[in-house]
Structure 1
Amino acid sequence: MSQLVVEMNQVSEADANRSLAKHRKTASSFRDTSLLEIFRLCCSLLSAARGKELSLQDAASTALLGAALRASITCLTFDFIGTSADEANDDLCTVQIPTTWRPTFLESATLELFFSLYHSLSSAEGGGALSSLALACLVQLASVRRSLFSNNERAKFLNRLAEGVAQILQHTQGLSDPLNYHEFCRLLARLKSNYQLGELVLVDNYPRLIELIAKFTVQSLQMWQSAPNSVYYLLSLWQRMVASVPYVKASEPHRLETYAPSVTAAYIQSRLDSVPVIIRFVAKIL
């Protein structure tokens, strides 16, 4: 299924002579007739697997679980409207889910499924590769276009998303794995790229959430050598949040004046700490 979705989503070298318009017509037809059913089937398989005690010692079960997760990602990263966005700008993009998918995303079980799979897989021995796939799915779910929901529905969706993120931050489960850590940083960045600060401050337990995010960011900046590419997403999150402060109309406090200075100080210190490392690196080259 994953290979089928990929094939329908891109023009292969063998089809180079086929017009782009014809390709989009085929891709759009596939999107409207089959893609949602494939995604639902993947969710059904994953839900059935979650209902059992996950054992990664069973090669067949592990292979099926991995295939279902990868197929879910290919469905969620499908080029729904033919934009062919540059992968370099993927974190600025919105997932243009069709309106027909709306009932699936309104169900709380959809988000809960992937958060639950992440917790189960990240705690299982050797489950890092699979748990990062669950997080990759959550990154896409967090990027669903705003217009898919009404204001109340969007608030409920964001609340469930924020609750799942807070639970991961609370227990830091699986974040020692580099793949999980990177995908989780991407997930945090999507919270602000797709939602307004005025919406974030209204989620349940926002004060605790922003405190956990700030603590996680400071710790990440202190260990910048471990995952420099992942830290970019955390800095992007804070830059966008601080830049949004003048436009917040909600009466609830955003608390950025409390946590942004500590994040800024941690970033400056990380740059100062990097100087000896860079000097030693340049010295070796010379």
Structure 2
Amino acid sequence: MEIIVCVKQVPDTTEVKIDPVTNTLIRQGVPSIVNPFDKNAVEAALQLKDKHGGKVTVISMGPPQAKDALKECLAMGADAAILVSDRAFGGADTLATSYTLAAAIRKLGNYDIIFCGKQAIDGDTAQVGPEVAEHLGIAQLTYVANMLVEKDTLRVEREHEDGYEIINAKFPILISVIKSLAYEPRFPSVRGTMKANRTEIPVWTATELDVEEQKLGLKGSPTQVRKIFTPPQRTQGVTIQKDTAREAVAVLMKKLSEAKIV
């Protein structure tokens, strides 16, 4: 079974900084981690390989430092890793990112399942996975909490607001995974970490992919950020002190009425 996992290296959410000119994330010098949902996706892929055999390849689009995220996935047990990195990819929104990742997946060749985390914690859009599936023209199942492979059929448990759906699907397919006890990420082994540190991760640039330049990076990103600002801090509430509860309620209702809340 050929399995691909799309992962992203994201800034530590307590250290996010924004470029005031381009309105994009500043990643240089900012502590980075593997997107937590993507680690669940890696675990799902590894469990599938453990049961049915095959190969797990992790792929990421990002700056050179994203190799650290890929090496962590290799240390967990992934078999191979690819970094898609080029200045031409800089500033990409979800559409340009998914277009580039889909091109890299086509270059990789055959696959049965593509795994993604349900969303990245820096953007929280949950768009890249489904968009990759659309670019590739394959089926997709999102918010998957658990799954079972029976011969050539995939049975998944998909979470939604009111409970779970049980859905059967055929390969090839893209799966986006939520955080669940079924796919709690394993810890990298010492041997796996040592092997990952010795592994040379190939880097694919724009010239090595079958892509149209105008669809990459900022040029290929129809999403425009008009304004970024820090919300004002909440002020403390007003204390009402009266002799009786009736008097306090009367004052409170007056203030709510003046604020046009009631």
Work out whether the TM-score is over 0.5. Answer: no
Structure scoring higher RCO (CA < 8 A, sep ≥ 6) equals 2
User: Could you say which structure has the higher strand fraction?
Assistant: 2
TM range (shorter): under 0.3
User: Could you say which structure has the higher helix fraction?
Assistant: 1
Q: TM-score, with normalisation over the residues of structure 1? A: 0.22
Q: TM-score, with normalisation over the residues of structure 2? A: 0.23
- Larger Cα-atom Rg: 2
